[in-house]
Structure 1
Amino acid sequence: MFNFFSNSVTTTSNQAEVGYHWSKIITLARQHRREIIWANGIALVATVISVPIPLLMPLLVDEVLLNKPATLVNTVYYLFPQSWQGPILVITAITVFTIVLRLLSLGLGVWQTKQFTVVSKNVIYQIRQHLIQRLQRVSMAEYETLGSGQVISHLVTDLDTIDQFIGATLSRFLIAVLSLLGIAAALLWMHWQLALIIILINPLVIYLTTVLGRNVKELKKAENAAYSQFQQTLTETLEAIQQIRAYNREQYYLGRVIDSANAIKNHAIAYTWKSDAANRLSFSVFLFGVEIFRALSMMMVAFSDLSIGEMLAVFSYLWVMMAPLQEVITIQYSYHSAKAALQRINQLFTLAEEPVYPHLQNPFQHHSTVAIRLENICFSYNKTDWILDQVSLDIPAGETVALVGASGGGKTTLVQILLGLYVPNAGTIYFNGVPIHQIGMEVVREHVITVLQQPAMFNDSLRMNLTLGRDLPDAQLWQALDIAQLTDTVMTMSEGLDTVLGQRGVRLSGGQRQRVAVARMILANPQVVILDEATSALDT
């Protein structure tokens, strides 16, 4: 046997599309420089506004309660008349000022999140669009092996995980890092010795929690795999529920779905409580540090120039530090989840693609029908058991040929090969003497139409099921329905051509679905028609 693809086929290289990695996602994000610049600028302003807040109220202890007027009291007295001056004015003014700063910080935080959301949604849309476009080129044999449930899981669940990481987690992470830097600067300004102790111990806390996070990521990976399997099993069961019910096998197949749901439950339980335990332990380690810092602060009051108000400010900063530090700690869990989702998405790039043939000749042009010639066609799913072995066939233009044989003899496989849905391992297909690798798959599928025993029906209008998105006049649709002997049926429908057929055409009988498929074929105006038991459900 020979492989005719070696010299005449242009393929899209899988090596050229190695999938997505973080540097590639960053490149996509850079297309939205304006939003990123705004987000970073807003985060910086929000940090400048929010960092002084914990310092204001505690300093009032020194300046007002302990009667040691300084910057805060002098500033308030400078802004207000002398008759208003007193402790009540200072406390009220600083309280109002603090509330205003918090409101500004809140508004800027929402604005910054919006900017990151715009970036993340656009990046995820580009990735999703790319993956959908790539599915258009994936070999049908590969796609059928993977299953629709797996594909749905990648395009929905996994991309949502990455979306959450880019849009929500990173926006909070930026604010958290800037807040920690601002807090560190404020602590250094108040008492550099105490600040150095706090700054040096915090990285140790983050390192310990990172070690815990590494043990959790495998649990999340197992949970996501269980979700993917559940979606696959559920999709297959729901698609075949009518036949399953007809065979009274609902209990078995729905039991398989329940088993998959149980696997999700078990993996989710393990991930949830262990990740929660890791989070709690991480937070406890931080709290241990807070208590040590508090004790050190009190010692600094006793043995250095740290005032009581500054000590309370340190306490406030330690409390405020919890939220941004927790964001820094928990980002590792979001990162591990997003990384695992990215790896699963990249599985789509390992699927073999169907060959891409150049459009060198169009044997269908200016012909009402064409001749077909198969030359030594060989096909096998596993390269061992040959479904088709050296099959040759010559069909003149305008001829009607019936292929008869036992089930499993390769009739449907031959149809898939003629349409280019399956690629033969060897041999060549000719239309009007032109080899298929000089025609192009798109041209072949535009002019060679098959009508199957179980035609695909969409949960859409009859019009859409007939045209498949083409813009055709109603008169042409009615003519095709008349030829398919379906006019009377459609006339009885309340919405006529706009009647929604339901999931898989449930509102139609088996015979009516086949007639719709015949009308669809007529509207395509093909040069070659292949009927694969297309009239098995028709009475006449």
Structure 2
Amino acid sequence: MILSHKKEFFIANILAVLVALVSLPVPLIIPLLVDEVLLNKPSYIVGFLNQFVSPSLQVPIYYFAVVTGLTIILRILTVIIGVFEIKKFTIIAKNITYKIRKDLLKVVRKISMSEYETLGSTAVSSRFVVDIDTIDRFISTTISKLIISILIFIGVSVILLLIHWQLALFLLFFNPVVLYFSNRVAKNVRGLKTKENKAYEVFSESLSQTLDAMAQVRASNQSKNFFDRLSFLADEIRQSSGEFFWKNEASSRFSFTIFLASFDVFRATSMLLVLYSDLSIGEMFAVFSYLWYMMGPVQEILGIQYAWHSANAALTRINEFLSMKKEVDYEHRKNPFDSVTTTTLSLKNISFSYGDTKILDDINLEVKKGEKIAIVGASGSGKSTVINVILGLYPMKSGDVLFDGVSIKDIGYEVVRDNVATVLQSPFVFNSTIKENLVFNENISDEKIYQALEIAQLKEKVDAMPKGLHTLVGKQGVKLSGGQKQRLAIARMILSNPKLVILDEATSSLDIFTEEKLHHSLEEFLSGVTTIIIAHRKSSIDQADRVFVLEEGRLKEKLDY
């Protein structure tokens, strides 16, 4: 994906080269003045500066003022160019992660429901947040630092070789060895950090679940058990976090001690070379400066492996997600829903399995236009699976679904879902207003909304709310009762003007009186609309013209139900 941003990447690399070129002279300039000014051995710098002033101004304060000013300017230029360089890499990273997120969204939109249910929403969310953020940091920060570090390492190596090649070789080979052992010490606590992160993750997940189910936890008198577990998990955080902190601190101090010890060795070696070679005192100070200067780049180069492993693992997870099985995308060729108020439904030899477990076995069903049928059966018998097959959420192992005699494979899933409305037993309610939960960004007048609410037996409740349609319902509709959420979903179904309606335990949370009123008000709306009712309640089953029993994967009509 970086190759798709060749121009930006080229500019970013040019800026990285400039950062290296501008910053490289900084550690060298002032130390060289030690020889030329303090030890009174004029050379290149003093000779160059003397060209611009009269002999009366050729004094140490002039040399140090000019060189210090030049050093400050170079440092400021390094920062400015570095800001533009990191900005370029950040733009590249954000564009790439934006593209990845778009690709992931396309996959989520078309992913097979069986694959999604196996993976789970938390795992999907982690791809969008944690994994993409890891890749983002790798591109925007790690790559940019790595390029500059490599350039600085090469530049410093060349300068050190020019100053004193024997000492330079000693530093270049010994420096990475020191950092390697420092990293080995630090590596011992990385597992503790993973353990700490895991403890936080488990605690956060358990806390979120407990808070979401607070009412149920209290109602079942399980508060003590749940909060005792949270206390236990909090103690796990205390232990793992405490262990990581002190061991990490000890590791950091030990690593720094290794560095200081190695620096002492370098200093002693440099001083000896001043005595026994042509290395000057100023050059020795320059070597000290470059030693400090080079530690950061070498650390970045050696540490790239950890950032790469993290980014590669994240990229692997994302690629695995992108390659997951997708929902079959049938091309839309025919539309049996055009210019009709309802439709027939035919299931032909439908079979479906969860892995090796057969749920539906050669099911056949014919529903006439405007007919209402009920499907009953024990929990887990596959009633909801039938609905998911009709909507194309679960792929058929064999058979076909037809609307007005047209195969779903010729209609396409999107057209089917536009015209088939489903009300579930536990409808999802978005953390938004009542109106937004009903219209889904469609342009529907308040008058039609209130008509739908009246049919759904929810108008009085909404009217009693201070903000009416603009009342926020909270996360997962926490401010609404189970029955109110079901009626909200029914009102949503009414506004969609469906050609076929599926009611999957749609009134299970209603009291008998409200349910009776709802059935009565829905009777006119559903008159002439093909309806499938999944229910256990006799009051719901009584609304059907025919009743079918789903048992052991087979669907049979019960004339005497």
Going from structure 1 to structure 2, the CA distance change for 1:139 and 1:247 (only over 3 Å counts) comes to farther
Going from structure 1 to structure 2, the CA distance change for 1:490 and 1:79 (only over 3 Å counts) comes to farther
In structure 1, how many angstroms separate the alpha carbons of the residues matched to 2:40 and 2:408?
94
Residue 445 (structure 2) pairs with residue 473 (structure 1): yes
- Aligned to 2:42, the other structure's residue is in SS state coil
Going from structure 1 to structure 2, the CA distance change for 1:243 and 1:412 (only over 3 Å counts) comes to farther
In structure 2, how many angstroms separate the alpha carbons of the residues matched to 1:58 and 1:493?
77
In the alignment, which residue of structure 1 is the partner of 2:475? 503
Residue 95 (structure 2) pairs with residue 122 (structure 1): yes
Going from structure 1 to structure 2, the CA distance change for 1:245 and 1:342 (only over 3 Å counts) comes to farther
Please, what is the CA RMSD of the aligned residues?
3.0
In the alignment, which residue of structure 1 is the partner of 2:497? 525
Going from structure 1 to structure 2, the CA distance change for 1:114 and 1:258 (only over 3 Å counts) comes to farther
Going from structure 1 to structure 2, the CA distance change for 1:256 and 1:391 (only over 3 Å counts) comes to farther
In the alignment, which residue of structure 1 is the partner of 2:381? 409
Going from structure 1 to structure 2, the CA distance change for 1:33 and 1:488 (only over 3 Å counts) comes to same
Residue 441 (structure 2) pairs with residue 441 (structure 1): no
Greater shift, 102-111 or 49-58, is seen at 102-111
In structure 1, how many angstroms separate the alpha carbons of the residues matched to 2:332 and 2:189?
52
- Aligned to 2:332, the other structure's residue is in SS state coil
What is the deviation of 1:507? Answer: 2.3
Greater shift, 460-469 or 421-430, is seen at 421-430
Q: Is the 8 A contact 1:147 1:232 kept in 2?
A: no
In the alignment, which residue of structure 1 is the partner of 2:308? 335
- Residues 316-327 of structure 1: matches in 2 within 5 Å? 316-327=289-300
Residue 19 (structure 2) pairs with residue 46 (structure 1): yes
Structure 1 residue runs of 5 or longer lacking an equivalent are 1-27
Going from structure 1 to structure 2, the CA distance change for 1:240 and 1:356 (only over 3 Å counts) comes to farther
- Residues 179-190 of structure 1: matches in 2 within 5 Å? 179-190=152-163
In the alignment, which residue of structure 2 is the partner of 1:193? 166
In the alignment, which residue of structure 1 is the partner of 2:532? none
Letter in 2 for 1:65: L
- Selected match of 1:84 from 30, 40, 57: 57
- Selected match of 2:402 from 430, 442, 446: 430
Letter in 2 for 1:97: L
Greater shift, 239-248 or 169-178, is seen at 239-248
In structure 2, how many angstroms separate the alpha carbons of the residues matched to 1:207 and 1:505?
55
In structure 1, how many angstroms separate the alpha carbons of the residues matched to 2:303 and 2:215?
46
Q: Is the 8 A contact 1:370 1:432 kept in 2?
A: yes
Q: Percent identity?
A: 47
In the alignment, which residue of structure 2 is the partner of 1:370? 343
Greater shift, 267-276 or 414-423, is seen at 267-276
Greater shift, 480-489 or 116-125, is seen at 480-489
Bigger Rg, which one: 2
What is the deviation of 1:230? Answer: 5.8
Going from structure 1 to structure 2, the CA distance change for 1:29 and 1:223 (only over 3 Å counts) comes to farther
Question: RCO (CA 8 Å, sep 6+): is it higher in 1 or 2?
Answer: 1
Q: Is the 8 A contact 2:179 2:299 kept in 1?
A: no
Q: TM-score, normalised by structure 2?
A: 0.82
In structure 2, how many angstroms separate the alpha carbons of the residues matched to 1:139 and 1:267?
39
Going from structure 1 to structure 2, the CA distance change for 1:251 and 1:281 (only over 3 Å counts) comes to same
Deviations 1:311-341 (CA, angstroms, capped at 9, x unpaired): 1111111111112212222222222222232
In structure 1, how many angstroms separate the alpha carbons of the residues matched to 2:229 and 2:401?
43
- Residues 85-484 of structure 1: matches in 2 within 5 Å? 85-205=58-178, 233=206, 236-253=209-226, 287-349=260-322, 351-384=324-357, 386-484=358-456
Going from structure 1 to structure 2, the CA distance change for 1:48 and 1:350 (only over 3 Å counts) comes to closer
Q: Is the 8 A contact 2:103 2:322 kept in 1?
A: no
- Aligned to 2:373, the other structure's residue is in SS state coil
In structure 1, how many angstroms separate the alpha carbons of the residues matched to 2:264 and 2:356?
68
Q: Is the 8 A contact 2:449 2:495 kept in 1?
A: yes
In the alignment, which residue of structure 1 is the partner of 2:523? none
In structure 1, how many angstroms separate the alpha carbons of the residues matched to 2:169 and 2:216?
71
Going from structure 1 to structure 2, the CA distance change for 1:52 and 1:110 (only over 3 Å counts) comes to same
Going from structure 1 to structure 2, the CA distance change for 1:260 and 1:421 (only over 3 Å counts) comes to farther
In structure 2, how many angstroms separate the alpha carbons of the residues matched to 1:227 and 1:145?
24
Q: Is the 8 A contact 1:63 1:69 kept in 2?
A: yes
Greater shift, 527-536 or 473-482, is seen at 473-482
In structure 1, how many angstroms separate the alpha carbons of the residues matched to 2:468 and 2:34?
80
- Aligned to 1:402, the other structure's residue is in SS state strand
Deviations 1:178-232 (CA, angstroms, capped at 9, x unpaired): 1111111211221223223323444545666777788887777777666666665
Going from structure 1 to structure 2, the CA distance change for 1:168 and 1:70 (only over 3 Å counts) comes to same
- Aligned to 1:79, the other structure's residue is in SS state coil
Q: Is the 8 A contact 1:210 1:332 kept in 2?
A: no
Q: Is the 8 A contact 2:186 2:255 kept in 1?
A: no
In structure 1, how many angstroms separate the alpha carbons of the residues matched to 2:329 and 2:198?
33
Going from structure 1 to structure 2, the CA distance change for 1:339 and 1:58 (only over 3 Å counts) comes to same
